[in-house]
């Protein structure tokens, strides 16, 4: 599963990772690509912009029905937006398709760096000082700092 139901940035990041994975595994794995975008799903023959654009667009209902006919043995979700890390993993669970990676609840917590940090700290793990910045909130900590996008 590649792409993003939310935006082009995450779709591009997903494509980069998935294409590298496919190149690294080469002929050792028989891939069936599912490209996800805000308007539907595509099933390209390769992970190139041209192949993605040439693949017909399917509604979510038609795409799920198509996946059911493919005999998929497992899913490698290369989705980096929050919906991709949570809702689409939940979909694979509902369809009883095994997938690589953590379950949706774990990914939902991991997607929120502030929540993940608070949970780890509450469990007694030492964590560095941190703060969440927004457009309306100026930094209070002095540099140096590591910035992680939320």
**Per the domain annotation, does 111 fall within a domain?**
no
Tally of domains within the chain: 1
**Per the domain annotation, does 37 fall within a domain?**
yes
Give me the mean pLDDT over the 13-25 stretch.
95
**Per the domain annotation, does 66 fall within a domain?**
yes
**Per the domain annotation, does 140 fall within a domain?**
no
Is the model more confident about 137 or about 6?
6
- Check residue 150 and give its pLDDT: 63
Q: Which range of residues forms the domain containing residue 48?
A: 2-106
- Check residue 135 and give its pLDDT: 84
Q: What is the pLDDT of residues 111-144, one digit of tens each?
A: 888 899 999 999 999 998 888 888 888 889 888 8
**Per the domain annotation, does 27 fall within a domain?**
yes
Here the CATH number for the domain that contains residue 35 is: 3.40.50
- Check residue 129 and give its pLDDT: 87
**Per the domain annotation, does 141 fall within a domain?**
no
Is the model more confident about 114 or about 52?
52
The model carries a pTM of: 0.82
Element (H, E) at 62: helix 60-69
Half-sphere exposure in the Cβ direction for 75 (13 Å, CA): 27
Report whether pLDDT(148) > 80: no
Give me the mean pLDDT over the 143-149 stretch.
80
Cβ-in-10-Å burial (0-12, 13-18, 19+) of 51 comes to: middle
How far is Cα 88 from Cα 5, in angstroms, rounded to an integer? 10
């Amino acid at each position: 599963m590649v792409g993003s139901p939310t935006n082009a940035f995450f779709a591009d990041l997903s494509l980069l990772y998935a294409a590298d994975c496919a190149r690294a595994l080469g002929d050792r794995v028989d891939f069936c690509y599912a490209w996800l975008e805000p308007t539907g799903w595509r099933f390209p023959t390769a992970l190139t912009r041209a192949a993605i654009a040439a693949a017909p667009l399917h509604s979510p209902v038609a795409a799920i029905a198509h996946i059911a006919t493919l005999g998929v043995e497992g899913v490698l979700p290369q989705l980096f937006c929050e919906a991709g890390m949570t809702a689409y993993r939940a979909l694979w669970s509902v369809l009883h398709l095994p997938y690589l990676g953590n379950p949706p609840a774990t990914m939902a917590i991991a997607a929120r760096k502030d929540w993940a940090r608070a949970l780890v700290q509450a469990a007694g793990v030492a964590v560095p000082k941190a703060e969440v910045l927004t457009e309306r909130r100026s930094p209070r900590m002095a540099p140096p700092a590591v910035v992680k996008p939320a």
